[in-house]
Amino acid sequence: MFGVVRDNPVATMIVISEVGLWVLLAVGLTARYPLRRPQLGAMLLWGIPLLDVALIVAAAFDLNRGTEPGTVHGLAAIYLGASIAFGPALIRWADIRFAHRFAGGPAPVKPAKGSKARTAATWREWGRVVLAALIASAVLGLLALTVATGEQSSALLSWGGRVWSIVAIWLVLGPLWEQLTAATKTPDRQH
């Protein structure tokens, strides 16, 4: 695995983006709450989308220089889609916890299993999965149209099926399962 990361600029950028996400998130929220520097914290958090842009630029350059499209190129598109679709929710999730811990904010609330709120949350999450798939598909299509050759294009576009398979699996294991669980749950009876 380390050889792939060392020898492939796109794999390297995926690792840098993932590590950078967590570092910028932690440092940004630390600046915002314990250090009480909200503007600095916001600037650091804006660095997260810049990492995503750098990742796609690396993938485009790699394909443009004639590299055979591989798993890393498909993963780069999926990573970008997931980062854009889930990034704001992840930052809100972490922000609530930092605010509670360091600024006296309210405790995080998790909807109870089987509740309508939990079902609604899983549908919203699945909506983010669909958004991620749309973004990944658009990025794959854009790379196929702009920097890839004919053979590269078909290899990139084949990732679309994988992306949408994830959407279908997530639908069944996420909101449909949660909705089924909520529908079969019987309310406790008081005697």
Backbone angles phi, psi at 132, to 5 degrees: -60, -40
Which residues are CB-neighbours of 167 under 8 A, at least 6 positions away? 126, 129, 130, 133
Cα separation, 173 vs 187, whole angstroms: 23
Of 104, 91, 88, 87, nearest to 29 by C-alpha is 91
| Whether residue 186 has pLDDT greater than 60 | no
**For tokens 């929710």, what's the residue?**
89
- pTM of this prediction? 0.85
Average the pLDDT over each of 23-32, 58-67, 159-168 and give the range with the smallest value: 58-67
Instruction: Output the furthest CA–CA distance in the chain (Å, rounded).
Output: 73
The residue ranking higher by pLDDT, 127 or 5, is 127
Which residues are CB-neighbours of 126 under 8 A, at least 6 positions away? 167, 170, 171, 174, 175
| Whether residue 28 has pLDDT greater than 90 | yes
Neighbours of 60 (CB within 10 A): 19
Cα separation, 51 vs 5, whole angstroms: 17
CA angle in degrees (0–180, nearest 5) for 86-84-76 = 110
Q: What pLDDT shows up at residue 6?
A: 66
Q: What pLDDT shows up at residue 5?
A: 61
Spacing of C-alpha 175 from chain mean position: 18
Structural domain boundaries of the chain?
Answer: 2-184
pLDDT band at 190 (very low <50, low <70, confident <90, very high): very low
Tokens representing 136? Answer: 């990944």
| pLDDT digit string, tens, across residues 132-141 | 999 999 999 9
